[in-house]
A and B are shown apart, each in its own frame.
Chain A
Amino acid sequence: DGGITQSPKYLFRKEGQNVTLSCEQNLNHDAMYWYRQDPGQGLRLIYYSQIVNDFQKGDIAEGYSVSREKKESFPLTVTSAQKNPTAFYLCASIGEIPGSYGYTFGSGTRLTVV
């Protein structure tokens, strides 16, 4: 079945460490997105990519970086410059959903600073 795979499910980061979150899709969607979810807040857009080798900053891009070398993959790196990285991270793509149209989300990665 088509979908989005995020890994790992849980990730622990030490102070000053960079970590990379994986996002892979087999939906053949062109556009992919990274959102951050914090308790009591709506999902906030970090970065998005509408086509291979191109990406744009979202609303809260500081301290994050991305790459889009393949259509299927959109990894997110949380750098040491991100001062409050503890959150639930969601990857999504947009396109046809059986019978409709919208975002498909991955199952998320929960990042915790230790």
Chain B
Amino acid sequence: EDQVTQSPEALRLQEGESSSLNCSYTVSGLRGLFWYRQDPGKGPEFLFTLYSAGEEKEKERLKATLTKKESFLHITAPKPEDSATYLCAVQEGDQGATNKLIFGTGTLLAVQP
């Protein structure tokens, strides 16, 4: 069964303390892996799409990487405004025609000043 697992469930960091969030997945064929940021009571905001192992993308303090079994979202020198829930989703090969995504349960990040 296709599955997406995110860890940790929650992470508390001090401002400036770098860390990584993990997204492990099991799908029969990966078409794409997506990272989203979600603030309380709002819809998810697109961050990155990764397509193949070895690919990396960066945006401000965030860097996403992809291997054949997992993806990492690295947060460098985080600020309090980076506090949010970070969601990972995968698009499985057979679902390519429907573009259906399978979501993890998210990592709740809290950055304290």
Contacts and interface: CB of A to CB of B under 8 A. Distances in A.
Given A90-B43, A97-B46, A103 B98 contact: no
A108 B46 contact: no
A31 B44 contact: no
Interface residues on B, range: 20 to 34
Nearest to B102: A42
Interface stretch (B13-21, B69-77, B103-111): B103-111
B100 interface: yes
A101 B104 CA distance: 19
Interface of A: 4, 6, 31, 33, 35, 40-43, 45, 48, 50, 56, 58, 88, 90, 92, 94, 97, 100-108, 110
Interface of B: 4, 32, 34, 36, 41-46, 48-49, 87, 89, 98-106
7 shortest interchain CB distances as A-B pairs? A105-B43, A42-B103, A43-B103, A94-B99, A107-B43, A105-B44, A102-B49
